[in-house]
Amino acid sequence: MASGRDVREMLGLPGFDGPKTAPAAKRSKAAVPGKKIQGVAREVAALYGERPPPVAVYEEKKSYRAKRQSTGPAKKWVLQPFTNQARSDGLVLKHWRRKPTSLPTAQSGEDIAIDEPNSGENTDVYIEDSGEFLRYAVQPDMPTFSDEEYNMHLRSDDWSREETDYLFQMISDFAYRWPVVWDRYEYKPSSNSHLSTAQDVPDMENPLATMPYAPSKSRSVEDLKARFYDISAKLMKLRIPEVQMDADQYATYEILTKFDPVLERNRKNLAAALMNRNMDEVKEEEFLLAELQRINMAANRLDAEREELRSRLEAPVPNTQVSAGLASFTSSTALAQLFSQLFQQDRSKKRAAGGGGGGGAGPGRLSLSAADHLTNTPTSTSHGGALSGVNRRQSLAQPAIQTPVRHLSPNAELRYNVSTHERLTSGITFGADKLLKMRQAKSNVQTQKIGQALAQLGIADIISIPTARVGDAFESLITKVSKLLDVRKVREKEEGECRVLEAMKARRMSEIQGDDDDDDDDNRTRREIQDSQERESPSGNGEDDDDADADADADGDADGDVDVDAEGEEEEDEDAEGEDVESQMQQSTRQASEAMSTRATSTGHKRSASVLSQTSTKSNKRARK
């Protein structure tokens, strides 16, 4: 071929160019698989194609066997007689061995001599002494005892000396293979006190008739073990006192003494019962196991997901326990943070996706704050108008999603604690957090005051089961508390003003008149004030007490109600006080026309507030009932 191409090349024939490139390409392609696979026939390697098997199934360095070197004459083999060192009877067997080169040549000279028929008498044949397999001739380690020892310590009511010896013989014969020992254990007490092994002999004559003997006491494996371990332990203790045993020995001793045949027998019965279960039971177990595995897998997956979430949040990795991991999210701030981060991610994703759909609903409009979601309550709206504005905007931006809702009867809704919402916020809020949030006002002072008021009412910091209804009640309570606080603030302000005005008036009076009239007048008004207080407060109190009693009687969960009532009472007091102040003022401000306007508005405010609170408490009570 090459020569043909050469010829064509020399002659400058056409068709030279074509074939030239093709074989070149072919060759290079063939060369690409690169390193020739070692140890595999070329034909087989060709079958691999582009992708050689991932695991080499050939020997690494296999090549053609080196040519046999003929190093001198053929080695001779001899059928070598040998004795086995593990045998005591000097049995001579023969195996093939290389003829030792160092063998005295005289032996080979003897060849002919040995040929004589009487070669059996030949004693100078080399007999190999083979100890090659000596290591396989192992004798089991057995405890031994003397007659005195037996009589002193090892006697047993259940076991004769003869049978004990038989047992030891069996154990040694079968090298502690208890199932085999038990299987072959056929002790027959002999009439004369010979060794038990010797009395097998008469039995030989009549192999099939093993029955003529009365069946010996049948012993279970546990019985055999118990006897043997008992003896071993006693012997061990005799040889080495307990205190002198080293750790290993003591461990063995413990095992020997702790053996409990009854326990062992029970265990075996259980094992047998386990094996003899029927198909259904096995199926059930399999099913349960599969289920368990499924649950485990789900739990693992959940863990992994949480782990991933946590690592995304770049939170300091808490300990791996699930509960602990969850605990770090129980505080509302942590959750709020989590939410905002998630939301941020979500948003950036949306933005990346192009935000094709809603032209109007730009990302800016959706800028919710975490607080918005977590404190989506009327309280918060009353606290901050800005937030409610955001809410409104959001509700505008998110058209109500229509999902088919299965309607429950109101009764059932109550029972299953199902609530329907006009609008759902994404994410999860905790009822407890909602309650916690309600306690917080804008200013620290206010928060403290609310806290104090609640503490006074005996409401715990953490309400254990914050259901929706409890939330509602709490919410109205908080509303009232904050209103009352407002009222109190106003009152304090007014009182302050009054004092100032009074002081002013007094000074003016002293300036203008400076005599007793004034004093009398003053005293009178004071008395009036006291009277009115005495007159009015008992009635108010009485009324409210009645209410409270009624409540307490009506329902067992008196706490909340009573609290509310007490609050109402307080409120009433304040009202009364307010009226006092009013009347006092009506009297005192005839001259001070300047202050009239403010007073009027403040009283009006007070009135309305008290009315409102009163009605609300009433309605609240009614609802509870």
Partner 1 sequence: MNIPNSSTAPNAGEYAGDEVSAIVLDPGYSTTRAGFAGEDVPKSVCPSFYGQIDKDSSSHYLFGENAIHDPLGNLQIKNPWGSDGIVENWDTATKVWEYAITSRLTGSRPSHPAKNGLNDANTNGNGESVDVDMEGLENLENTEKPLGDSPLLMTEPGWNSVKAREKYIEIAMEEWGTPAFYVQKTGVLAAFASGKASGIVIDVGASHTSITPVLDGMVLRKGVQKSPLAGNFVSNQIRLIFKQAQPEIPLTPHYLVKSKTQVDAGTPAQATYRTYDIPPLDSFRRNEEERVLTEFKESVVEVWSGNGRFSNAANEEMAARLPGRPFEMPDGWNQLFGAERYRAAEGLFDAGAALHDADNPKPKDEHTIPRLIQAAVQQVDADQRPLLLSNIVVTGGSTLLYKFNERLNNELNVIYPSTRNKLIAPGPLVERKYAAWIGGSILASLGSFHQLWISRKEYEEHGTNIVEKRCR
Interface residues with partner 1 (CB under 8 A) are 59, 61, 70, 73-74, 76-81, 84, 86-87, 89-96, 99, 107-108, 110-111, 114-115, 117, 119-120, 122, 125, 130, 132-133, 136-137, 173-174, 177-180, 182-184, 197, 200-201, 203-205, 207-208, 221, 268-269, 271-272, 274-275, 277-279, 281-282, 285
3-state secondary structure of 399: coil
Q: How far is the CB of 161 from partner 1 (least distance, A)?
A: 22
Residues facing 298 on adjacent strands: none
- Comparing CB distances to partner 1, the nearer of 173 and 521 is 173
Q: How far is the CB of 375 from partner 1 (least distance, A)?
A: 59
Q: How far is the CB of 227 from partner 1 (least distance, A)?
A: 17
User: Can you tell me the distance from the alpha carbon of 362 to that of 366, in angstroms, rounded to the nearest whole number?
Assistant: 7
Q: How far is the CB of 356 from partner 1 (least distance, A)?
A: 60
Q: How far is the CB of 185 from partner 1 (least distance, A)?
A: 10
Contact 233, 250 (CB under 8 A): no
Contact 157, 123 (CB under 8 A): no
- Comparing CB distances to partner 1, the nearer of 281 and 486 is 281
Rounded to a whole number, what is the distance in angstroms from the first to the last CA of the chain?
A: 112
- Comparing CB distances to partner 1, the nearer of 205 and 422 is 205
Helix axes 516-554, 558-588, angle to 10 degrees: 160
Q: Which of 111, 51, 48 is nearest to 78 (CA)?
A: 111
- Comparing CB distances to partner 1, the nearer of 63 and 444 is 63
Cβ atoms within 10 Å of 389's Cβ, excluding its own: 11
Q: How far is the CB of 142 from partner 1 (least distance, A)?
A: 17
Contact 588, 506 (CB under 8 A): no
- Comparing CB distances to partner 1, the nearer of 56 and 455 is 56
- Comparing CB distances to partner 1, the nearer of 182 and 474 is 182
Q: How far is the CB of 115 from partner 1 (least distance, A)?
A: 6
- Encoded amino acid at 199, one letter: Q
- Comparing CB distances to partner 1, the nearer of 175 and 317 is 175
- Comparing CB distances to partner 1, the nearer of 96 and 416 is 96
Cβ atoms within 10 Å of 145's Cβ, excluding its own: 19
Q: How far is the CB of 27 from partner 1 (least distance, A)?
A: 35
- Comparing CB distances to partner 1, the nearer of 61 and 442 is 61
The torsion angle over the Cα atoms of residues 410, 416, 421 and 424, rounded to 10 degrees, is -170
Q: How far is the CB of 84 from partner 1 (least distance, A)?
A: 5
Three-state SS string across 530-582, please? HHHHHHHHHHHHHHHHHHHHHHHHHCCCHHHHHHHHHHHHHHHHHHHHHHHHH
Q: How far is the CB of 426 from partner 1 (least distance, A)?
A: 51
The values of phi and psi at residue 321, to 5°, are: -65, 140
- Comparing CB distances to partner 1, the nearer of 131 and 538 is 131
- Comparing CB distances to partner 1, the nearer of 119 and 598 is 119
- Comparing CB distances to partner 1, the nearer of 266 and 300 is 266
Which single residue is written with the structure tokens 């942590």?
334
Cβ atoms within 10 Å of 155's Cβ, excluding its own: 11
- Comparing CB distances to partner 1, the nearer of 180 and 309 is 180
Q: Which of 493, 482, 477, 495 is nearest to 448 (CA)?
A: 482
Q: How far is the CB of 246 from partner 1 (least distance, A)?
A: 30
Q: Give, in order, the Cα–Cα distances in Å from 64 to each of 44, 45, 60, 61, 138.
A: 16, 17, 13, 10, 44
Cβ atoms within 10 Å of 223's Cβ, excluding its own: 18
CA angle 294, 296, 300 (to 5 degrees): 115
Q: How far is the CB of 39 from partner 1 (least distance, A)?
A: 12
Contact 499, 507 (CB under 8 A): no
The percent of the chain in helix, strand and coil, each rounded to the nearest 5, is: 65, 5, 35
For residue 155, give both structure tokens: 């006697």
Q: How far is the CB of 54 from partner 1 (least distance, A)?
A: 18
- Comparing CB distances to partner 1, the nearer of 220 and 446 is 220
DSSP-derived secondary structure for 322-350: HHHHHHTT-SHHHHHHHHHHHHHHHHHHH
Cβ atoms within 10 Å of 107's Cβ, excluding its own: 14
Q: How far is the CB of 141 from partner 1 (least distance, A)?
A: 17
Q: Which of 441, 433, 494, 508 is nearest to 463 (CA)?
A: 433
> Which H or E element spans position 94?
strand 92-98
Q: How far is the CB of 132 from partner 1 (least distance, A)?
A: 6
User: Can you tell me the distance from the alpha carbon of 547 to that of 554, in angstroms, rounded to the nearest whole number?
Assistant: 10
- Comparing CB distances to partner 1, the nearer of 31 and 279 is 279
Contact 195, 165 (CB under 8 A): yes
